[in-house]
Homo-oligomer: A and B are copies of this chain.
Amino acid sequence: MTAPAASLLDRYLASDPRALARALTLAEAGLPAARPLLRAARTRAHRATVLGVTGSPGSGKSTLTGALIATLRAEGKRVAVLAVDPSSPYSGGAILGDRIRMLRHHADPGVFVRSLATRGALGGLSARTMQVLALLEGAGFDWVILETVGVGQSEVDVAAVCDHTLLVLTPAGGDGVQAFKAGIMEIADVIAVNKADLPGADRTVRELMAAQGLGAHDEHTWFAPIRRTIASQDQGMEKLVEAVLKHREHLGEPGLNARRAARAEYEVRSLVQERLMERARVQSRDLYARVARGELDADDVADALVQGDGLPGRGRGAQG
């Protein structure tokens, strides 16, 4: 095994797209052969700018990602896109439509697209998704764009694992903006008001700026730059790229290292979840039903899973 893995490693480090595709497949399958590749990706000096693109379906997120790629390619940058559908148990099909919009770049060797329809143990991004992301990050691309499909926790998770989070909004429906104020706005590093040719764009920008002023802030606070875009016409993309790079400067090396550590933390926790789910599955088929019936304490079961012991006896802790 050692010799071909080394050669795969060399080809991966030389940015061979076929080696990369193979490496991603190993990581997706959770094979140990992916480990030296992952380690190489992480120790590499050159790391991509990892941008998460988030926003509700209908905001034009995928079109904007496509336009962003075109702009980055015009600047000679190499770009990888990781499209993830962590909501896959609930929906289906959306990812295909989104991918079709990316086809304008499919013949371009400077653009690499990978789709994953996978879900983490507790929802969100799976450990394998994180490993695919790490391999892309260290594969010699200038940018890696992480895009998720579907609603729900993916928005928050993208922010947890990227260097920069781009939030895509539209002028349509002032209450949409109201909605976002509740929690999503504060995870954005850069905001695109897309479809800016629609009525209400100015008002939306004003509302967003007003909302930013409401939060607690001091001289070190990063206010997400708000940029008008019309992604379907490739408009506003340069300024969006500039805003991301300005945030990168703001983060600096310590900030970027913290973001990378957060990615690693997310990955480790997802791996831990997977192992514990397996342990729970092996221990008892009706483990959780027994907790629900009050036959076992949730705390005792959690202890047993963490310790790797057998299940607690009935009534343990009854004197508590």
Q: Which residues of A approach B to under 8 Å, CB–CB?
A: 2, 5, 32-33, 35-36, 38-43, 56-58, 87, 90-91, 94, 121-124, 127, 130-131, 149-153, 155-157, 160, 172-173, 175-176, 178-184, 186-187, 257-258, 260-265, 267-269, 271-273, 275-277, 279-280, 286-289, 291-295, 297-299, 301-303, 305-308, 317-320
Contacts and interface: CB of A to CB of B under 8 A. Distances in A.
Contacts of A187: 90
Contacts of A127: 298, 302
A268 B301 contact: yes
Contact of A39 (B130, B153, B173, B297): B297
A151 B177 CA distance: 12
Nearest to A263: B292
A175 B178 contact: no
A153 B123 contact: yes
Nearest to A301: B268
A122 B269 contact: yes
23 contacts: A2-B319, A5-B320, A32-B299, A35-B297, A35-B317, A40-B294, A57-B181, A57-B182, A87-B156, A122-B269, A149-B182, A152-B152, A153-B157, A173-B176, A261-B288, A265-B287, A265-B288, A268-B288, A268-B291, A268-B298, A268-B305, A271-B302, A306-B308
Contact of A288 (B176, B180, B262): B262
A10 to B, nearest CB: 16
Contact of A317 (B32, B121, B180, B273): B32
Contacts of A273: 122, 269, 273
Contacts of A258: 289
B183 A152 contact: yes
Given A172-B173, A178-B57, A263-B292, A90 B305 contact: no
Nearest to A269: B122
Given A173-B175, A173-B176, A264-B298, A157 B292 contact: no
Contacts of A319: 2
B257 A150 contact: no
Contacts of A263: 292
B293 A156 contact: no
Given A39-B318, A152-B152, 8 more contacts: A2-B319, A58-B175, A87-B182, A122-B124, A131-B298, A260-B293, A267-B291, A275-B306
Nearest to A5: B320
A153 to B, nearest CB: 3
Contacts of A277: 269
Contacts of A121: 269
Given A40-B294, A131-B298, A320-B36, A151 B182 contact: yes
